[in-house]
Amino acid sequence: SQTRKLLAWENGDNRVMNIIPEHKSSALVVGGMRFINSRPAWRGAGVAIPVFSVRSDDDFGVGDFFDLKKMVDWAVVTGQKFLQILPINDTTMTHTWTDSYPYNANSTFALHPMFMRLSELGRLNDENRQKYYDDLAVELNALPTVDYERVNNAKNEFMREIFRQEGAKTLELPEFKAFVEANAYWLTPYAAFCVLRDMNGTPEFGKWGEYAVYDKAKVSKFVDEHADDINFVYYVQYHLDRQMRAVHEYAGKHGVAFKGDIPIGISRDSADAWTSPRLLNMASPAGAPPDDFSVLGQNWGLPTYNWEEMNKDGFAWWKARFRKMAEYFDAYRIDHVLGFFRIWQIPMDAIHGLLGIFNPALPYTPDELRHNYDFWLDVDLQTTPFIMDYFLYDFFGEYTDEAKRRFLIDVGYGRYKLRPEFDTQRKIANYFATEEKCEKNDKLCNALLGLVDEVLFIEDPYEKGKYHPRISAQFTYIYRSLTDYERWCFNRLYNDFYYHRHNDFWYGKAMWKLPPLIDSTSMLTCAEDLGMIPDCVPAVMNALQMLSLEIQRMPKDPKAEFGNTWTYPYLSVCTTSTHDMGGIRQWWEENRDVTQHFYNNMLHEQGPAPHYAEPWICDKIVTLNLQSPSMLAIFPLQDWLSIDGNLRRNDPREELINIPANPRHYWRYRMHMTVEELLDAQLYNDYVRSKIKSVGR
């Protein structure tokens, strides 16, 4: 047919989504989601919300898997085809709120017990105990946010009680035995990890004595000796698996696809790290360079991957991870896809991401810097903290004299160096962790951390005598001390290093890793490709037909203030916000100059911009994204609700899910209304449905 257009044909089986478009001419089932088989090309809309954030009448103070059924119902009512969630793996480490970070899983296979719908496990025979949990559920569910510790401790307590009552029957079920057998490769080590974690009071397996180093035979004996505790973990995972499969099947029958999230990293205190340390570089924490989310960069504390070792068995660990995820999802988002090209690696003794380097990379030799860029590297001066008397007040303010006495050594000519006990950011942080928490100590600590960042180059940890220009070095005092010509030379080598030098090198690294992983499942591949994007990234994504992520306030073109929704590529997911940023309304109030430019130049409105993002403004922004050519337009629930003045939350700051600059952020956001109330909002739902239909989604 002349109406058909083939963009690309991929290897492997066709990818078929459980989506039934209203017009058969738009179906995307030939060659899967990477093949446009008719005009107009199929486009869909969707909603994004973490499972823990969903609120329903049946919850226990936190969203659970069965809540997703009601979110599917809402998607159907409003004409949406995708439901996107955050990672759902178990993150239990300390049984405290610090476990709320969903990107620090203790297993890349196990599901989080927090998402269990308790009522599906049965009721306790002890009526008083059952009433206690029923009453507690009502109390916790009325809270405005998730009380992570009370919720998880209570759910775990109930599950242990119901396991003692019903567990023996479950353990005899053929379905249970089949689940354990099929998942034994990860389930048994994970169960042993959980029991040992609780027995030792820490997830740091290096402190587990004879079990510090994983030994399969020894662990097998441990499992036999602690059968009851091990079976409890099996029981929980069995029911979580059943519940997630049930809601996924429910979604498919209703024409809604589930989109999951694959984090780039895993925890150094995880069952995976315990059982397969050879696959990881435990002494090399991963993070991200500075961006709009964090000017100091991000230090995730997660180990980097030993890709050469992973390649020896054909990336079996990654493939198993993808295939497990395919049991619950139709599509997935690769978190920080740049990590497959290169990872931002930070020294163990650093806190700030500013002191990181790309790995793998092609660092400079001093001779290359001199011959190719006419830059003469002074190793002593430019690779150690540059600390001069004339700018110390900028760091320490009124505490400058005290800081000199306590933390610095005068080496003459107005120059200082840090005392040995304070010469790394880790030493500084550890010292102030034992000091009184007050404004003065916070200022001293942050100032000292900032002084350690004052370097122009970082020596490569693997190839001594080779150097990386420090990221964002143009904001340092050592850079300002250069002559105009030296700055020009440095900028030239800097731009070459970060934007040109590695393109072919990183292209090859990504094409070595990604194809076998993507081809291991039939899921649709979407990528979070934000941050410093070298030219090789879109080249690889185009070659592999991966969907990019488009956000209007974070344009891919560095020369543009905002993205142009009309020019988004078809193979993309466009969104108004992500879980790492404030929603439309919060963003609108952050910077009046930016808001004014957006109001006049993107919304094409005249005059001064309203101080608040009124519903009609949010509606217009949502509509711009819906009208884009992007295959998928998936918005956070908060932004969907922002278009209705009666339904949206009063204070948009209460809608924030994460603050990337804060590594100890408490992830606890919940909807301010129940899904049942949302389903009853007929006028609003009809409006959303008509809006989606009117733009051809």
Q: Are residues 118 and 9 in the same domain?
A: no
Q: Are 605 and 621 in contact (CB under 8 A)?
A: no
What local confidence, expressed as pLDDT, does residue 40 receive? 66
On whether both 111 and 241 belong to a single domain, the answer is yes
DSSP three-state, residue 133:
helix
Domain's final residue, options 227, 251, 275: 251
Domain finish residue from 442, 468, 499: 499
pLDDT value at position 37? 39
With contact defined as beta carbons under 8 Å apart, do 501 and 536 qualify?
A: no
24 with 125, same domain: the answer is no
- For residue range 175-207, list pLDDT tens digits in order: 999 999 999 999 999 999 999 999 999 999 999
Tell which wins on pLDDT, 61 or 292: 61
Mean pLDDT in residue range 95-118: 96
Co-location of 27 and 138 in the same domain: no
* Per-residue pLDDT reduced to its tens digit, 121-149: 999 999 999 999 999 999 999 999 999 99
Structure tokens at 509: 């690294």
36 and 123: one domain? no
Closest to 167 (Cα-Cα) out of 248, 228, 95: 228
Q: Which of 251, 284, 301 is the last residue of a domain?
A: 251
Q: Are 349 and 427 in contact (CB under 8 A)?
A: yes
Residue 191 inside a domain? The answer is: yes
Q: Given this model, what pLDDT does residue 21 score?
A: 39
Total number of domains constituting the chain: 3
Which is higher by pLDDT, 384 or 6? 384
The pLDDT, as a whole number, for residue 270 is: 96
CA distances to 128, 168, 409, 550 from 419, rounded to whole Å, are: 62, 62, 6, 46
Residue 396 predicted with pLDDT over 90:
yes
Same domain, 411 and 487: yes
In this prediction, residues 465-483 reach a mean pLDDT of 97
Instruction: Specify if 119 maps to a domain.
Output: yes
pLDDT digits (tens, 9 = 90+) for 207-216: 999 999 999 9
In a domain, 293, yes or no: no
Residues 2 and 123 in one domain: no
Domain check: are 28 and 109 in the same one?
no
**pLDDT for residue 488 is more than 50:** yes
- Asked if residue 582 is part of any domain, the answer here is no
Q: Is residue 638 part of a domain?
A: no
Residues 374 and 495 in one domain: yes
Whether residue 401 lies inside any domain: the answer is yes
Same domain, 238 and 119: yes
Question: Could you report the per-residue pLDDT of 355-392, keeping only the tens digit for each?
Answer: 999 999 999 999 999 999 999 999 999 999 999 999 99
Q: What is the mean pLDDT of the chain?
A: 93
Segments forming the whole domain that contains residue 154: 105-251
Mark whether 165 and 246 lie in a shared domain: yes
Helical H segments across 79-203, by residue range: 127-141, 148-171, 174-200
- pTM here is 0.88
Residue 289, CA distances (Å) to 40, 355, 559, 608 in order: 40, 9, 20, 35
393: in domain: yes
Instruction: For residue 233, give every residue at least 6 positions away whose Cβ sits within 8 Å of its Cβ, in sequence order, or none.
Output: 187, 190, 191, 194, 195
pLDDT tens profile 501-518: 999 999 999 999 999 999
Q: Alpha helices of 363-464 — where are they, by DSSP H?
A: 366-373, 379-382, 392-396, 400-407, 425-433, 439-452
Whether 519 has a pLDDT exceeding 70, the answer reads yes
24 confidence band (pLDDT: 50, 70, 90): very low
Distance CA 482, CA 477 (A): 9
Specify whether 123 is located in the same domain as 14: no
Determine contact, residues 106/267, Cβ cutoff 8 Å. yes
In a domain, 608, yes or no: no
